[in-house]
Amino acid sequence: MDWLGESDGGTARALVAREALLADLRSRLRAGRGFAIATLNLDHAVKLRADPAFRAAYAAHSHVTADGHPIVWLERLAGRRAERVTGADLVVPLARLAAAEGCSVALVGSTAASLDGAAERLQREAPGLHVAARVAPKAGFDPASSDAARLLDRIGESGAGLCLLALGAPKQELFAARAAACLPHMGFASVGAGLDFLSGRQVRAPRAVQAFALEWAWRLARDPRRLGGRYARCAAALPGLALAARRARPARRGGAGP
């Protein structure tokens, strides 16, 4: 994602594909080595340009995936292949991986009712999974606060080896970076609305809508007041990001330009 320039915190890393990600996470869970997963979408790219703290948090993550179709397209413009791996699509595979490795899970974010519903669904989808903690922070949760420190203590004391974060960006990434430093034996995955989708609190776009890269339109139609400004900023930033990605494309052999 070198087309982000300095916005990626100085880490022009490759975006990891699903199977490679899960294989590495299995190895880390077995060895008790922690990790932090961020799922890059266009909104994140805009925030990375504007927010130094968000850039630093992203740089502290061990893995980054391409969460949205625009990120996949930008990578293609830069001359690389990328696989779309959303936070929502990782929730069940991560739960199954944790169950297979005898690793308990903590659920953090959203609401208490949504976490209860997500836990019930995950235990059906991943037989043997133990949900060690469910914590829905109060509104206005600050990842840098003393409340966040107490939450870290609670997560650590739960014995969980994996924590699924549904706090929304940038809070979940900021908290994941702090948590990974404090609890280096644990894994943290920022999954956005993934737990709400599982519990039924939010309805995800049908697969046909996703296949045509129109999930953003589905979400906008369902929540225009919250998402309208965000998507407008993303649309405004996309041409500049596309130009940067095209410029990042390696020169062809023979000295020809991109």
Tens-place pLDDT, residues 82-111 = 999 999 999 999 999 999 999 999 999 999
Task: Look at residue 220 and tell me if it is in a domain.
Answer: no
Find the CATH number of the domain harbouring 37: 3.40.50
Domain of 60 in residue numbering reads as 2-202
Task: Look at residue 211 and tell me if it is in a domain.
Answer: no
Task: Look at residue 83 and tell me if it is in a domain.
Answer: yes
pLDDT tens per residue, range 213-249: 899 999 999 999 999 999 999 999 999 999 999 998 8
Number of separate domains in the chain: 1
Q: What is the mean pLDDT of the chain?
A: 92
User: Helices 87-100 and 112-125: crossing angle, nearest 10°?
Assistant: 60
Task: Look at residue 207 and tell me if it is in a domain.
Answer: no
Task: Look at residue 208 and tell me if it is in a domain.
Answer: no
Task: Look at residue 70 and tell me if it is in a domain.
Answer: yes
Task: Look at residue 104 and tell me if it is in a domain.
Answer: yes
Task: Look at residue 213 and tell me if it is in a domain.
Answer: no
Whether the model pTM is above 0.95: no
**Region 150-165: what's the mean pLDDT?**
98
- Do residues 62 and 35 make contact, with C-beta atoms less than 8 angstroms apart? yes
